[in-house]
């Protein structure tokens, strides 16, 4: 059974750093595309970052240069290192497995999310 | 504002049907990128409902169906049930933004 469990969310001051983790089971992170999607309180879904199985990384403009997506093969875990956090980064962060179709990528399994609150 | 435009809300009585639209542009849906749909029940994670414009994952009832034409896509829900009350999101890829994009979401209410 595929499962994704996020952790690491916290209350953090503006300018601070945080690392989110997403522990996967039922499949191998290394051989799959993985993504982070966030949802601000009361708002819709926003794509944050994607890590291809080959290692290529992609970021939304709003987080480029501040966030880094990575994985640990031995722990079968996906990470999101978040630096220079801003109030507008406040959101629930979901980890998701991504699959590619003929012309597009979709997210077939999602974790329950972890809450990041950026506030002084 | 989202790159993909959805109505903020739709509603229908039990047993009836509703359609949720997702309007894009020539830089996303109109370019040929697939549209995918997600259902998010209150307080839970999104769940994949339709992928590749019209395909349903195993376990998703055939009351849910997707379609795509030109720069738009639609999600149709027939035989509405109380448990269908949720937020629904469309998703595609935008070549101009080089980003995966979601619609703003549609809150579906069963009257």
Q: What is B47-65 written as a DSSP string?
A: EEEEBTTTB--TT--TTEE
pLDDT in tens, B24-65: 999 999 999 999 999 999 999 999 999 999 999 999 999 999
pLDDT in tens, A12-65: 999 999 999 999 999 999 999 999 999 999 999 999 999 999 999 999 999 999
> How far separated are the first and last CA of chain A, in Å rounded?
40
Closest-CA distance of chain A to residue B106, Å: 9
Shortest CA distance to A94 belongs to which of A37, A40, A56, A42?
Answer: A37
Buried b (16+ CB within 10 A) or exposed e, A97-107: bbbeeeebbbb
Give the pLDDT band (50/70/90) at residue A103: confident
A92 C-beta neighbours (distance < 10 Å), count: 20
Tokens of B96: 């101009």
Tokens of A31: 């051989």
Q: Which residues of B touch A107 (CB under 8 A)?
A: 36, 38, 46, 48, 91
Give the pLDDT band (50/70/90) at residue B95: very high
Report the Cα A6 to chain-centroid distance in Å: 9
User: Within an 8 Å CB–CB cutoff, is residue A3 touching chain B?
Assistant: no
Q: Which residues of A touch B101 (CB under 8 A)?
A: 47
């Amino acid at each position: 059974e595929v499962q994704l469990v996020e952790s690491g969310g916290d209350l953090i001051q503006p300018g601070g750093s945080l690392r989110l983790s997403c522990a996967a089971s039922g499949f191998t992170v290394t051989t799959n595309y993985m993504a982070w999607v966030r949802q601000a309180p009361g708002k819709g879904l926003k794509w944050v970052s994607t890590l291809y199985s080959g290692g290529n990384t992609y970021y939304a403009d709003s987080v480029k240069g501040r966030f880094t997506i990575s994985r640990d093969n031995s722990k079968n875990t996906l990470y999101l290192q978040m630096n220079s956090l801003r109030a507008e980064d406040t959101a629930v962060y979901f980890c998701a497995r991504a699959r590619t179709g003929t012309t597009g990528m979709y997210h077939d399994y999602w974790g329950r999310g972890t809450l990041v609150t950026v506030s002084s | 504002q989202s790159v993909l435009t959805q109505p903020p809300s739709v509603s229908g009585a039990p047993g009836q049907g509703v359609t949720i639209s997702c309007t894009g542009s020539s830089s996303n849906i109109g370019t040929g990128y697939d549209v995918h749909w997600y259902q998010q029940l209150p307080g839970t994670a999104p769940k994949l409902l339709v992928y590749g414009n019209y395909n349903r994952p195993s376990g998703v009832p055939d009351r849910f169906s997707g379609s795509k034409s030109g720069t738009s896509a639609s999600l149709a829900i027939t035989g509405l049930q109380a448990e269908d009350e949720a937020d629904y999101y469309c998703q595609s890829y935008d070549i101009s933004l080089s980003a995966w994009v979601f619609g703003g979401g549609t809150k579906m209410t069963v009257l």
